[in-house]
Amino acid sequence: MHYLVTGGAGFVGSHVVLALRDAGHSVVVFDNLSTGHRAALPPDVPLIVGDLSDPARLNTVMEYERFDAVLHFAALSLVADSMRAPFTYLRHNYLNSLHLVELCVRHSIRRFVFSSTAALFGTPEQQPIMEDATVNPGSPYGESKFLIERVLHWAEKIHGLHSACLRYFNAAGSDPSGRAGEDHRPETHLIPLAIDTALGRRPRLSIFGSDYPTPDGTCVRDYIHVTDLARAHLAALEQIGTRSVTYNVGNTTGFSNLEVVRSVERVTGRRIDWCGADRRPGDPAILIAGSERLRRETGWTPHIAALDDIVETAYRWRLAHPDGYAPLPAMQDARVESRPVPAFSVPPVATAMHPPAPS
Ligand SMILES: NC(=O)c1ccc[n+]([C@@H]2O[C@H](COP(=O)([O-])OP(=O)(O)OC[C@H]3O[C@@H](n4cnc5c(N)ncnc54)[C@H](O)[C@@H]3O)[C@@H](O)[C@H]2O)c1
């Protein structure tokens, strides 16, 4: 199969690119490199440097090559930032995705995998959070992702575009064989920050909030190894030939921020200097995934589930890449040029969802 991967140069996307290629598929990555890295991709993966807000460019890409599915990772994804700049988040994530979904319909692409998030559950009443839990986003970031899920709902109903909405919990770790890792700039995720503090690359680690209703007062999160998360994308792709699915992707186990700090101390053998800081806006106390639907329907199960093992892979990558990915200049796929998108209206696809009315 031949796949278009938006945001494929980012943390999760690059690991999914590796998993797709390991499974024998070919990929083209579309990424503006705002937070991603050319070096996160194998050198022979075509990278089109472009922004999703430029549908003309995207349209040209889809005219040039025929894709069996699109996997969509490109987004702004910081909850706290979205509380400061709600319209930026809503515009960037929602409108860009809307363009992308419209273009998929226009180019008769029939499968779409979307990076959704646990953040669309807000502050859930029950843990673990099942797929059918009430959606009540606690931030514009979560809201933007839910809006995209709704776009995909209508894209299926009216145009027959089947999708998988994968609601990730906290992606962590790195490719066990060291081919990719996590390099956000600035980094906001707890495990890489704790590792850098242990290595003396940061003076001190801030833990946001110590008065949450959790056993030690710090937030509890479900950490899913990024390679297991990548495998969930392959499993989901197999499900969406004739239907759409929504899955939570997590380990079904929660760890508090302080438990993560202790895990990093165990793995690195070093003490971490940490201090308490104010809560961040939009952060719920506990997010633990109920991933039973994914397990039951696809047979997926995490392979690297223990927190120390997840941390170990992240630590090894950081030791091998103390400065993250080398800051290589962006390489452009010269085959693709922007052309204006002609105005279009897409006729509904005749599907089994619209049976003839009984006479
Ligand atoms: N990392 C997590 O724990 C987590 C949890 C829940 C959901 N998600 C979602 O998963 C996806 C990937 O997350 P990540 O941690 O890999 O993020 P990331 O920032 O590492 O990757 C995002 C990629 O998208 C690219 N990008 C962003 N805006 C773009 C645009 N307008 N046009 C083209 N490319 C653009 C970036 O350059 C980057 O390569 C995001 O949609 C995020 O919301 C991530």
User: Tell me: the pLDDT tens digits for 164-190?
Assistant: 999 999 999 999 999 999 999 999 999
Return the percentage of the chain with pLDDT > 70, whole number: 91
Q: What is the pLDDT of residues 45-61, one digit of tens each?
A: 999 999 999 999 999 99
CA of 8 to the centre of ligand 1 (A): 8
Mean pLDDT across the chain: 91
CA distances from 322 to 199, 315, 326 (A): 9, 10, 10
Q: 355: CA distance to ligand 1 center in Å? A: 38
Whether residue 354 has pLDDT greater than 70: no
Dihedral (CA of 23, 24, 29, 34) sign: positive
More confident residue, 358 or 266: 266
Query: Given the CA of residue 35, which atom of ligand 1 is nearest to it?
Result: 37
The string of pLDDT tens digits covering residues 64-93 is: 999 999 999 999 999 999 999 999 999 999
Atom 9 of ligand 1: nearest residue by CA position: 115
Q: For the chain, which domains are there?
A: 2-320 (3.40.50.720)
Q: How confident is the model at residue 331 (pLDDT cuts 50, 70, 90)?
A: very low
The reply to whether ligand 1 has any atom less than 6 angstroms from the CB of 171 is yes
Residue showing tokens 């700049």: 85
The pLDDT tens digits for 15-50 are 999 999 999 999 999 999 999 999 999 999 999 999
Of 12, 117, 246, the residue with max ligand 1 atoms within 8 A of its CB, to mutate for a pocket test, comes to 12
Instruction: Give the global pTM.
Output: 0.91
pLDDT at residue 334 tops 80: no
At 333 the pLDDT is 40
If you take atom 26 of ligand 1, which residue's CA is the nearest one?
A: 74
- Which pLDDT score is estimated for 125? 85
CA distance 328 to 46: 15
pLDDT at residue 293 tops 50:
yes
Interior/surface letters 273-295, b for 16+ CB within 10 angstroms, e for the rest = ebeeeeebebbbbbbbbbbeebb
How far away, in angstroms, is 184 Cα from ligand 1 center?
10
* CB of residue 74 inside a 6 A radius of ligand 1: yes
Q: Relative to the CA of 182, which ligand 1 atom is closest?
A: 20
Residue 11 Cβ < 6 Å to ligand 1: yes
Residue 251 alpha carbon to ligand 1 centre in Å: 21
Q: Predicted confidence band at 282 (pLDDT cuts at 50, 70, 90)? A: confident
Instruction: Say how far apart CA 304 and CA 307 lie, in whole Å.
Output: 8
pLDDT band at 116 (very low <50, low <70, confident <90, very high): very high
